[in-house]
A = this chain, B = another copy of it.
Amino acid sequence: MFLGTHEHSIDEKGRLAIPARFRAELAGGMVVTRGFDRCLLIFPLPFWSDLTRRVSALSLTDEDARMLRRLLFANASEQEMDRQGRILLPQSLREGGGLADQAVLVGLDTFIEVWAPDRWREVEERLASQGPRFDEQMRKLGI
């Protein structure tokens, strides 16, 4: 269960520290790839396998499905932590996420999002202002 936001630095070698609370769940390996809102996604390997199975089952002829495949797989990178609990973010991914020397890791229960700090603050503001919009959604889910 990944929870909370954690701001960490990315050092000159492109390494990003994983918050200690998240490490146990990623010990079995992870995949880093590009997300949907110019952020990066970190999936534990089991979650990733499940995701890829469903995406690979999609039609080859559907344009949206092809684009989804490219987004997910073309920039994906399997990573393991070094003994200090860090991973190396390949340059292509850092560019894709607009990341420089700081990153915000956001735990979303089953996976993690990685944001450039200023971009994440924008998302937070949108969340604060759009709060009421979610009431209905949550009611639908019975929450």
Contacts and interface: CB of A to CB of B under 8 A. Distances in A.
Contacts of A108: 69-70, 73-74
A71 B141 CA distance: 15
Nearest to A140: B54
B5 A74 contact: yes
B54 A142 contact: yes
Given A71-B134, A108-B70, A141-B54, A4 B77 contact: yes
A14 B109 CA distance: 24
Interface of A: 1-5, 21, 31, 36-37, 51-52, 54-56, 60-61, 63-64, 66-71, 73-78, 90, 92, 106-110, 113, 123-124, 126-127, 130-131, 133-134, 137-138, 141-143
Contact of A36 (B61, B76, B141): B61
A71 B106 CA distance: 11
Given A67-B134, A71-B127, 14 more contacts: A1-B78, A2-B73, A3-B73, A3-B76, A4-B73, A51-B143, A55-B109, A61-B68, A64-B134, A70-B113, A73-B106, A73-B108, A73-B109, A74-B107
